[in-house]
Amino acid sequence: MQIIFATSNQNKLIEARSILGPSFTLLTPADYGITEDIPETSGTIRGNAIQKARYVWERTGLPCFADDTGLEVDALNGAPGVFSARYAGPGKNSEDNIDKLLGELDALGEAAGGRSARFRCSVALMEADGRLTVFDGIAEGNITSCRCGTRGFGYDPVFRPEGMEKSFSELTEQEKNVISHRGKAMRALAGYLLSLK
Ligand code: ITT
C-alpha cells in the first residue's frame, strides 16, 4: 500500500519504514513537490498531527499520515511538551534542547521530586475521502542525568524507558520500536489500514 508520511524528519521516516514493514511504501511530501515547512501551530500534539496530515492531503488528495511527538517532563509541569522541537528556541538543535532540559532539571535539584517523563505521540491519518483517524502512543520513562548512547535522535540519549537500564539511544532501532510511543501509534495505524483492505 502506498501512503504519504507528512514529515521532514528523516529519523522518523526510517523508524516508520521499519515499524510498518514491507506492506507499506512510504512517500514523502517532497515526492509531491511540497518542500516548505508544514505549519504546526495548533497548540496540542494531537492538533499538530492533524494539521500536518490535513495540509498534505489538501494539496495531494492522497492518503497520508503525520506524526507529532512531545516529551512531557513531570517536574517541568509537562514541558517541553508541544514545544519539544523548539524548546531551546528557534534555530536551535536537539543538542541545545537536551542542554536546556538537563539544565532545568539540575537547577531544580531535589525540588524536582524525580525525573519521570513520557513521550507522547499522535499519528493522524487522512484517507483519500477526507476521513480522519488519530492513533496515540505513549512511552513512560525517566530523564537521565547525562547523555547515554549514540543511536536514535532528538531526546533519545536522555530518555530511559520504564523498566530498562538503557536509554533509547543505547537500544537498537528494533528494540526502541517495540516499546516506543511511535511504535505503538504506528502499529495501531498499520492494523487499521490493513483492516480496510
Ligand atoms: P516533523 O514535524 O517534520 O514530523 P519534527 O522533528 O518537527 O518533524 P516533532 O515536532 O514531532 O517532529 O518533534 C518534536 C521534537 O521531539 C523534536 O525535537 C524531535 O527531535 C523530538 N522527537 C520526536 N520523536 C522522538 C523520538 O522518538 N525520540 C527522541 N526525540 C524525539
DSSP string, 140-177: EEEE-SS---SSS-TTGGGEEETT-SS-GGGS-HHHHH
Q: Whose CA is nearest to atom 20 of ligand 1?
A: 154
Minimum CA distance residue for ligand 1 atom 21: 154
Q: Which residues are 122's β-sheet partners?
A: 68, 136
Q: Is 116 near ligand 1, meaning CB less than 6 Å away?
A: no
Mean pLDDT of 138-147: 97
At 74, the amino acid letter reads D
72, 155, 172: residue to mutate for ligand 1 pocket, most atoms within 8 A of CB: 155
| Structure confidence at residue 87 (pLDDT) | 97
CA distances from 21 to 17, 63, 98, 107 (A): 6, 18, 31, 43
What contacts 153, CB < 8 A, 6 or more positions away? 9, 11, 94
Cβ of residue 12 lying under 6 Å from some atom of ligand 1: yes
Residue 94 half-sphere exposure, CB side, CA atoms within 13 Å? 12
pLDDT of the residue at 111:
79
Atom of ligand 1 lying closest to residue 180 CA: 27
Percent of the chain residues past pLDDT 70, beyond the cut: 100
C-alpha cell at 154: 532528538
pLDDT in tens, 146-192: 999 999 999 999 999 999 999 999 999 999 999 999 999 999 999 99
- Per-residue model confidence (pLDDT) at position 59: 98
Q: Can you give the pLDDT at residue 109?
A: 86
Give the closest residue to 71 by CA, choosing from 39, 105, 107.
Answer: 105
Burial class from Cβ neighbours inside 10 Å (0-12, 13-18, 19+) for residue 69 reads buried
Closest-CA residue, ligand 1 atom 4, reads 7
What number does the ligand 1 atom closest to the CA of 97 have?
A: 18
In the chain the domains, ranked by start, together with CATH numbers, are 2-195 (3.90.950.10)
pLDDT of 113 > 90? The answer is no
pTM for the complete prediction? 0.97
Q: Please, which pLDDT band fits residue 112 given cuts at 50, 70 and 90? A: confident
pLDDT > 90? residue 110:
no
| Mean residue pLDDT across the chain | 97
pLDDT the model gives residue 185: 98
Q: Cα(69) to centroid of ligand 1, in Å?
A: 6
The pLDDT tens digits of the residues spanning 56-104 come to 999 999 999 999 999 999 999 999 999 999 999 999 999 999 999 999 9
Torsion of CA 40, 24, 126, 140, to 10 degrees: -50
